Chain A
């Protein structure tokens, strides 16, 4: 992990057309090359919106970002090739097998032939699939779908991986193993990982740095230890509650 930044976010503001308030308000920070960065925040904080802007799904109303020097506004095609994206919703064809879904995604990123096949086999194996990879996705458990969904984002070995709540709805075993795989990928393939989550403990253990956001603003940013010391709390969940309050979001 270096301290060189790979993503520079400068004053991104987003106001959805049919909404009165800003989903993002002048969000401004940097993500370092090779780190695992956690984006935490209550429902509606703007996490998904921020990731969507980075990968070109949503246009920022103001501000911008550069990814390895490429502006997301001016050069979205170049940026798309650098990124791997794992959508929050399952983005798979239910009547295709897990393997066929991955073959399709791999081809869409320009992989083909033996390279594609080997990469798909390798990833399936790493994430605990065997012959069940050939069954239709609609018969999978929630956890299996999430794992295939996740593999779809890393097949083409992106330099940066964006994960929106990758472990939601998984049991502890699956969650732990997924996080372990992601850590390995981060180390072996030098892949920067940006992920959003509602699991504080997991984030505390897994992330190099964390940003807590609410109502479209970054409230604090640093390593988990730095945040706990600064806010004088014993764990990240306490820090989170102190900063974002106990009120339920709508």
Chain B
């Protein structure tokens, strides 16, 4: 016990004067969380919250124009500005505002668009009953102008234009039936106007795939970035830990270590324990950042779910996996430079594969398969379960198990490598 305390005090004192170590372990993570969350918050926001800024210039002011107005104002993907043609008289007016970034897409419904549509439908009806009726030349064409910001996301534009087409089609059907009803009424001498119910036949309802009985969590920049960068930072322990293990092996200190009574392994456990606490501290700091600091910047408050025991279990397994990886790197390599380069690069690769930088669901399928080999990915999936899907211990048990197996394997391999290296004498 005394030896453990001795090692603990020693490691602690070494760590607090190690500027590089402190920067890597505590300052870098805080900056990463800040920067990445704020950057991605904008992206998530334009997707999910206030929507795409759309300008609708409605000069028609009849059924068609109103239907399009109504359709877009119900839609959640756009933030609609409606003008009746008073402010935006010409296309040039619109373009000017769009260049300033006010709108991403603008739709201009011309005057008398509804009348034109009606004429078109009536023409069709006429031909239906009278084969000799002439095809009306240009009366039925409605020119809807669509002005687009060239830097706008194509999928946004697609969403808006397909919405537009949908509203036009539904209005056209409605007008068709109205006119047909009038004609049939006239034929059969029933003086009755057919009133089309002003309701959609198909009603769309969005649902979220959640575990049973769980409330809905909106996935947002905070819920992804906080756990992601916490995992990344905890794994970056490999740099100071690997360096420290190598330093102790090369600076003549190793000789002293081994002339102490008791085994070197007990000294090593003291060191690993310190870094374990460092990992837990890192995690707590980043969580506190998400809960208390980021909301001050207008970001959503971090939701850590409602299963503290599962959260602690997952975090402990993550920390154990990270320190065992540091131990492995520190045991395999012989110079601090080698360990820092390999350790750093391997964490970068494993984090990229693990979905830390880019969410997994936008990766190609074969990459997603590879990412299931990254311990950072196991941890991330675990936190997604707890933070986003509202899962409990059962939802994370496989991830915890994988992390734990990684921990034990890394310990065993380190032990074999250590034995092999010290056997030469």
Contacts and interface: CB of A to CB of B under 8 A. Distances in A.
Partners in one complex: yes
Interface stretch (B216-224, B249-257, B396-404): B249-257
A228 B321 CA distance: 64
Q: Is the interface of B mostly helix, strand, loop or mixed?
A: helix
15 contacts: A16-B425, A58-B425, A89-B251, A89-B252, A89-B255, A91-B255, A92-B251, A93-B10, A95-B17, A96-B10, A96-B13, A100-B10, A103-B9, A107-B2, A108-B3
A245 interface: no
Interface residues of A, number: 34
B307 interface: no
A70 interface: no
A112 B2 contact: yes
Interface stretch (A78-86, A167-175, A211-219): A78-86
Contacts, number: 79
A164 B240 CA distance: 31
Contact of A93 (B3, B14, B255, B261): B14
Contact of B252 (A58, A91, A95, A109): A91
B256 A91 contact: yes
Contacts of B262: 77, 108
B201 interface: no
Contacts of B5: 107
Contacts of A90: 251-252
Nearest to A88: B252
Contact of A56 (B252, B253, B259): B259
A100 B13 contact: yes
Contacts of A140: none
Contacts of B18: 95
A104 B12 CA distance: 12
Contacts of A57: 255, 258-259, 425
A108 B260 contact: yes
Contacts of A96: 10, 13-14
A90 B240 CA distance: 22
Q: Is the interface of A mostly helix, strand, loop or mixed?
A: loop
A59 B425 CA distance: 7
Given A89-B255, A90-B252, A91-B251, 5 more contacts: A58-B425, A100-B10, A105-B256, A109-B260, A112-B2
A152 B260 contact: no
Contacts of A108: 3, 6, 260-262, 267
B424 interface: yes
Contact of A80 (B255, B261, B425): B261
A87 interface: yes
Interface of B: 2-3, 5-7, 9-10, 13-14, 17-18, 251-253, 255-256, 258-262, 267, 424-425
Interface in A1-44: 16-18
B9 A81 contact: no
A17 B422 CA distance: 12
A202 interface: no
A56 B3 CA distance: 20
B257 to A, nearest CB: 8
Interface in A100-158: 100, 103-105, 107-110, 112, 136, 152
Contacts of A17: 424-425
A236 interface: no
A104 B9 contact: yes
A17 to B, nearest CB: 6
A194 interface: no
A81 B255 contact: no
Contacts of A103: 6, 9
A104 B6 contact: yes
A107 B6 contact: yes
A50 interface: no
